[in-house]
């Protein structure tokens, strides 16, 4: 199961009434765009979050893969009469309470990919149609939607109690959210497990910097984060480095990085007099290979805090 975010605007009501997603194949000067071509990736059972004028207003489930079809007459898209397009049949489930992206953007922003993000850094939607929604972002959107739509106020706190919420009026939303969350978390967990198991022997089951060997203290650190990876990169053990929890936290937050030779780079935000405190030294290196070199360089370019 994959998840996507579709930016619909004025065509939302028309597409909802037809039970479809529809996009062009090419623009007026015959250019192909990734946000239209992505329609060809959708499969039966995939989830789509529908974004309209700042809000996630619905979740739909794909009933089929795409097919090529001219623009339905009911969809008013100026300049696209008789245009060829991609159509996916979906089952819409509107939310009682839409999720305003800007209100929760502090939680959403860290999960957005660097490339092909549905949203800009100011919380506005990007121009386009269908965007990828990685597993971590999908889980977050489900949690935020659940907070608004199916959480009940207990005397002590807000609680998600499945036995109680199933008695609520809009039963359709509960299985959709529960299944989306469950399948996505399972996919994430299995991916991380496979990644770790294959990464450990590449680094001799020890921290690449300080040689700590206690398994409970070792982390399989992604160089290129899950949110920015292709499906293959997410389970490629060369897209990672084995680090203790201390050095993993520094690496994941961009305070250290490694160049193409394996040499460490330490952020200027860490005073040199504190290097020993963090278990760092200027001349540290890791035993990189040609296969993990591109990933280490990607991390240094995009994640490192100079």
Q: How far apart are CA 123 and CA 118, in angstroms?
A: 9
**Mean of per-residue pLDDT scores for the chain:** 89
pLDDT confidence band for 274 (50 / 70 / 90) = very high
Q: How far apart are CA 184 and CA 2, in angstroms?
A: 8
Q: Measuring CA to CA, how many Å separate 186 from each of 42, 190, 191?
A: 20, 6, 8
Q: What percent of the chain has pLDDT over 70?
A: 92
Q: Which of 61-65, 171-175, 239-243, 270-274 shows the lowest per-residue confidence on average (mean pLDDT)?
A: 171-175
pLDDT at 56: 97
pLDDT at 151: 54
pLDDT at 171: 58
What pLDDT, in 10s, does the model give residues 120-159?
A: 999 999 999 999 999 999 999 999 998 888 754 444 434 4
Give the chain's domains with CATH numbers: 3-136 (3.10.590.10), 204-302 (no CATH)
What pLDDT, in 10s, does the model give residues 152-175?
A: 444 443 444 444 444 444 556 778
Q: Measuring CA to CA, how many Å separate 21 from each of 85, 88, 125, 241?
A: 10, 5, 18, 40
What pLDDT, in 10s, does the model give residues 72-96?
A: 888 887 666 778 899 999 999 999 8
């Amino acid at each position: 199961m994959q998840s996507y975010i579709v930016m619909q605007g004025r065509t939302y009501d028309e597409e909802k009434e037809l039970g479809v997603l529809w996009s062009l194949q090419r623009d007026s000067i015959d250019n192909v765009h990734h946000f239209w071509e992505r329609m060809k990736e959708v499969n039966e059972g995939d989830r789509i979050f529908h974004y309209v004028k700042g809000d996630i207003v619905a979740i739909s489930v794909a009933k089929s893969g795409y097919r090529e079809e001219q623009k339905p007459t009911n969809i008013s898209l100026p300049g696209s009469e008789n245009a060829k397009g991609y159509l996916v049949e979906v089952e819409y489930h509107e939310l009682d309470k839409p999720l305003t992206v800007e209100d929760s953007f502090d939680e959403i922003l860290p999960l957005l990919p660097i490339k092909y993000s549905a949203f800009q850094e100011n919380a506005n939607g990007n121009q386009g149609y269908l965007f990828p929604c990685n597993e971590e972002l999908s889980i977050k959107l489900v949690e935020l939607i659940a907070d608004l739509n199916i959480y009940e106020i207990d005397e002590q706190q807000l609680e998600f109690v499945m036995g109680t919420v199933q008695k609520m009026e809009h039963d359709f939303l509960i299985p959709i959210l529960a299944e989306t969350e469950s399948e996505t978390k399972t996919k994430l967990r299995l991916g991380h497990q496979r990644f770790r198991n294959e990464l450990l022997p590449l680094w001799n089951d020890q921290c690449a910097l300080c040689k700590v060997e206690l398994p409970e203290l070792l982390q399989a650190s992604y160089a290129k984060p899950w949110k920015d990876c292709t499906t293959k990169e997410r389970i490629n053990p060369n897209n990672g480095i084995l680090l203790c929890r201390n050095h993993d936290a520094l690496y994941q937050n961009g305070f250290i990085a490694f160049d193409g030779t394996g040499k460490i780079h330490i952020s200027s935000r860490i005073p040199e007099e504190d290097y020993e405190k963090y278990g760092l030294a200027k001349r540290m290196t890791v035993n990189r290979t040609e296969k993990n070199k591109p990933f280490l360089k990607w991390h240094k370019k995009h994640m490192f805090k100079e």
